[in-house]
Amino acid sequence: MKKILVTGGAGYIGTHTCVELLNRGYEIVVLDNFSNSKESALENVKKITGKDFKFYNVDMIDKKALDTIFDENDIEAVIDFAAYKAVGESVEKPVEYYTNNVSTVLNLLDRMKAHNVKKIVFSSSATVYGDPKVVPITEESPTGGTTNPYGTSKYMVEQILKDLYKSDNTWDIAILRYFNPIGAHESGLIGEAPNSIPANLMPYIVKVASGKLEKLSVFGNDYNTKDGTGVRDYIHVVDLAVGHIKAIEKLNKEGKGLFIYNLGTGKGYSVLDIVNTFEKVNNIKVNYTIAPRRKGDIATCFADPEKARKEIGFEAKKTLEDMCRDSWNFEKNIN
């Protein structure tokens, strides 16, 4: 049976997607270099699914190692998650970010082409829309105007994939623009486990709730939103993972195309909505203080999820309560 190569498969979104793929009978091969993940996450994917898969500890900068993977396995498609994703760090380390997020994709595409594997699902981000003039954001909304190397790296790879498709339309490409994934698998075995102090909201909240961090800084309460705090489209990571299955199905069914989809819920929640819902469903206090705005943040960002619903039948099913409960369940479980 032909296999799907999942790069960055030990990471947060990668592990959840591996579970959904295995549960649906897909065979997978996983690549990761554990730059922001641990081997135990893959063990837990096996535990949840009762299925096994081949794993390669490889950095995608290494073209020879990529060749070995394609030589040793009958790969029909790649889902590419492998990337750095800390916005602040990307400003400090642009060379590392462009190398890891752009050069490695070029290596991957080059080796895919050499091995005649021309189907790819790419992890992009709503960050490519910059500061949106209008919400909800559709796939036709203007892109660019990214404010940090992380965002620019996603924008660049999108452009590379579009140019690639223009040059050779036998490629099948799905670009998925994620909004804000939170939550964890209901088993509590996999979830978001950053190797350093979290920069994103939910991973920070769980550390405050568990007493590992003192309090949350709410970055700004003077935005033009219902309560002054930033509004985002939070999507449960399991829903997001299912979005990748839908994308693969689309590429398998129709083939021959480049498709771009927003993966979000279409609902916007504020920072205080998240804190309040987290406290309520988990019956635990989250200490916070209002702090100045974070540089580069925008007021409001949420998706128009219609295109993904119509074209690939993608619909986020889980609620904000599910997201808050599952994030906390994972945090309790790993400690």
Residue 153 bridge partners (DSSP): none
- Smallest distance, ligand UD1 to C-beta of residue 137, A: 12
Give catalytic status of residue 150 as yes or no: yes
Q: Which residues contact 295 (CB under 8 A, 6 or more apart)?
A: none
Cβ(93)–Cβ(163) under 8 Å?
A: no
Exactly one of 56, 129, 150, 223 is catalytic; which is it?
150
Task: Considering only the stretches 7-15, 62-70, 194-202, 324-332, report the one whose residues sit in contact with ligand UD1 under the rule CB under 6 A.
Answer: 194-202
Long-range contacts of 21-24 (CB under 8 A, 24+ apart): 21/244, 21/245, 21/248, 22/49, 22/51, 22/53, 23/49, 24/245
Could you give the CA distance from residue 278 to residue 273 in angstroms, rounded to a whole number?
8
Using rule CB under 6 A, residue 180 touches ligand UD1: yes
Using rule CB under 6 A, residue 323 touches ligand UD1: no
> If binding means CB under 6 A, how many residues of this protein chain bind ligand UD1?
21
- Quick check: helix, strand or coil at residue 259? strand
Task: Considering only the stretches 25-33, 48-56, 215-223, 256-264, report the one whose residues sit in contact with ligand UD1 under the rule CB under 6 A.
Answer: 215-223
Cβ(308)–Cβ(261) under 8 Å?
A: yes
DSSP string, 45-92: HHHHH----EEEE--TT-HHHHHHHHHHS-EEEEEE------HHHHHH
> By CB under 6 A, what part of segment 230-249 binds ligand UD1?
230, 232
- Helical pair 201-209 and 320-333, crossing angle rounded to 10 deg: 50
Using rule CB under 6 A, residue 207 touches ligand UD1: no
- Smallest distance, ligand UD1 to C-beta of residue 296, A: 6
Per-residue contact flags (x/-) with ligand UD1 for residues 108 to 127, judged by CB under 6 A: -----------------x-x
- Smallest distance, ligand UD1 to C-beta of residue 204, A: 4
Using rule CB under 6 A, residue 165 touches ligand UD1: no
Residue 135 bridge partners (DSSP): none
The smaller minimum CB distance to ligand UD1, of residues 55 and 150, is found at 150
Cα-Cα end-to-end distance for the chain: 38
Token pair, residue 67, equals: 């060749």
- Quick check: helix, strand or coil at residue 178? strand
- Smallest distance, ligand UD1 to C-beta of residue 98, A: 16
> By CB under 6 A, what part of segment 82-101 binds ligand UD1?
85, 87
Per-residue contact flags (x/-) with ligand UD1 for residues 31 to 70, judged by CB under 6 A: ----------------------------------------
Using rule CB under 6 A, residue 185 touches ligand UD1: no
- Smallest distance, ligand UD1 to C-beta of residue 200, A: 3
Q: For the chain, give the number of residues.
A: 335
- Under the rule (CB under 6 A), what is the footprint of ligand UD1? 85, 87, 125, 127, 151, 180, 199-201, 204, 216-219, 230, 232, 271, 294, 296-298
Which positions are annotated as active-site residues?
150
